[in-house]
Amino acid sequence: MIPQPSRALADLAGKLVNDIAPETSSTYAAANTGMIAMLLGALAQDAERAVASRMDDIDEMQRLFTTLGRDCDPDNAEARTRYVGRQPASLRLGDVDALHQDGMALLIAVHAWAEDHDPDLDRSIWRLLHRHTERNRLDLG
């Protein structure tokens, strides 16, 4: 069998909601069962896409940083140049997350700079954040 974590987690969430929660004997247990089912549903969505969505973010940040001159947020210009050339140590989520977080820290700094100096760049970063947020959106019904 090829494991399909997303499907398994979604099925377990359904089992909790439909079969187990109605059998619980207290409102406290039923409420917690519902919340755990919701979390399983979120895990089901993210298990499938987590690496891909972070890699898409990394790719977008690297492309954006490539377009920026050294006079843009000059304190971080060298760090941005180094970031553009980096790849995650592996495709394990922890390694991808580490590179993603480094990029987000640089993005926050350049966004703060853009608010004061470059309205077009400010708008571009808001659009990037919009796409980032949509990639990670949880649809839980």
Partner 1 sequence: MHPALAPLGERFVAYLSDRWQEPLTLTGIEQIPGGASRETYRVRVDGPGGSRGLILRRDPVSSLIDTERALEYRTYQAVHGTAIPVPEPLILEEDPSHLDRPFSVMREIAGCESAVAALAQPPFDGLRERIGERKWSLLGQLAAMDPGQLGVTGFMDVPDHPARRELDYWAGVIDADALHPQPVAQAAIRWLRRHLPAPSARRCLVHGDYRSGNFLFDAEGEIRGVLDWEMAHVGDPLEDLAWSLDPLWGWPERTLAGGLLPREQAIAIWQRASGIEVDREAFRWWQVFASLKGLAIWISSTEDFVNGQSKEPILAVAGWVMTDRQNRILLDRLDPASTHDYAEPLL
> Which parts of this chain interact with partner 1 (CB under 8 A)?
25-28, 30-32, 35-36, 38-39, 42, 97, 101, 104-105, 107-108, 111-112, 115, 122-123, 126-127, 129-130, 132-133, 136-138, 140
Backbone torsions φ then ψ of 26, nearest 5 degrees: -140, 155
Closest separation between CB of residue 92 and partner 1, Å? 16
Q: Which lies closer to partner 1 via its Cβ, residue 49 or residue 130?
A: 130
Which residue carries 């640089």 as its tokens?
106
Q: Which is nearer to partner 1, 3 or 94 (CB)?
A: 94
Task: Kindly state the tokens that stand for 82.
Answer: 């180094």
Residue closer to partner 1 by CB (options 1, 112) is 112
Q: Which helix (H) or strand (E) holds 34?
A: helix 27-67
The least distance separating partner 1 from the CB of residue 1, rounded to whole angstroms, comes to 29
- Contact between 140 and 38 under an 8 Å Cβ cutoff? The reply is yes
Number of neighbouring beta carbons within 10 Å of residue 14? 14
- Shortest Å, Cβ 27 to partner 1: 6
Handedness of CA 84, 90, 96, 102 (dihedral sign): negative
Residue listed under structure tokens 């971080």: 76
Given the complex with partner 1, which of 8 and 24 has the nearer CB atom? 24
Task: Name the minimum Å distance from CB 32 to partner 1.
Answer: 5
